[in-house]
Amino acid sequence: MTAAMRAGPVVVEVSTPGGPARVHIRRPRGARGTVLLGHGAGGGLRSVDLTAAVSLLDAEGWATALVEQPWLVAGRRVAGPPPTLDAAWVPLVQALRVRGGALATVRGPLVLGGRSAGARVACRTAEVLGADAVLCLSFPLHLPGYADRPDKSRAPELRLVTDAGRPIAAVQGETDAFGTAAELAAYLPDGAVYPVTGTHSIPRGSAAAVAAAVLHFTAPLRD
């Protein structure tokens, strides 16, 4: 693991079975917990929901790590199959938190999360990584047009978290074609879904609502 830059967030490169990944780390002084977030299958860390979440968490004293999966670092345009994403994510998180890792000395809860495909990765790996909670941004419950196909639902990934009794939150667009906030609420505990104006791509006008939802979910985790 090598530091790539020191201005703004620290960017580190982490070796994974799928190739090198990049992690953008912010560590406020005396951070009381860690939130690791992955991006969607379309790639990129500049989505409104990811940006709003990281800004809020940094201001609230959380250490944050935005993860670029190896396929994105390599310049590919399409994400690999889900197992390859998990295979990179798990050792990456472990490397950051073991002795000598960039987040090794941060105490407090570990929250895994991400946007879209990144949220799915967090749900699938929460148990093996010992996450204290999961934060989903624009969780893709199903492909557009497949709402009536239970065999195509990603709800079982959500149940991996809820069945284990871990806190989970989903910040979801009210008209998301990959699963509206109302659809998602059928699979999560009461109050776990935070509807915001938007589709699968959250508009800038909803950034404050995203931040408010993230604050409401994460604030009690530090107590």
CATH number at residue 202: 3.40.50.1820
Q: Which residue has the higher pLDDT, 31 or 3?
A: 31
Which is it for strands 110-115 and 63-68: parallel, antiparallel or unpaired?
Answer: unpaired
10 Å CB burial of residue 42 (0-12, 13-18, 19+) is: middle
85-129 tens-digit pLDDT: 999 999 999 999 999 999 999 999 999 999 999 999 999 999 999
Six-digit token string for 131: 């996450």
Strand partners, 51: none
**End-to-end Cα, the chain, rounded Å:** 32
Q: How confident is the model at residue 44 (pLDDT cuts 50, 70, 90)?
A: confident
Q: How confident is the model at residue 4 (pLDDT cuts 50, 70, 90)?
A: very low
CA distance 3 to 131: 25
- Beta strands across the sheet bearing 19-26: 2-5, 10-16, 19-26, 63-68, 34-38, 110-115, 133-137, 168-173, 193-196
Would you say residue 6 has pLDDT above 70?
Answer: no
Q: How many domains does the chain have?
A: 1
What's the pLDDT band for 42 if we cut at 50, 70, 90?
confident
31 Cβ contact partners less than 8 Å away, ≥ 6 residues apart: 61, 62, 63, 106, 108
Residue ranges of E strands in the chain: 2-5, 10-16, 19-26, 34-38, 63-68, 110-115, 133-137, 168-173, 193-196
Are the CB atoms for 180 and 173 separated by under 8 Å?
Answer: yes
Query: Quick one: tokens of 204?
Result: 């800038």
> Would you place residue 223 in the very low, low, confident or very high pLDDT band (cuts 50, 70, 90)?
low
* Residue among 83, 90, 82, 79 at smallest CA distance from 43: 79
Contact between 166 and 189 under an 8 Å Cβ cutoff? The reply is: no
The boundaries of the domain holding residue 8 are 2-222
Of 123, 154, 138, 118, nearest to 194 (Cα)? 138
pTM: 0.95
Query: CA torsion sign, 199 to 201 to 204 to 207?
Result: positive
Per-residue pLDDT tens digits for 142-163: 999 999 999 999 999 999 999 9
**Average pLDDT rounded to a whole number, residues 183-204:** 97
- pLDDT of 204: 97
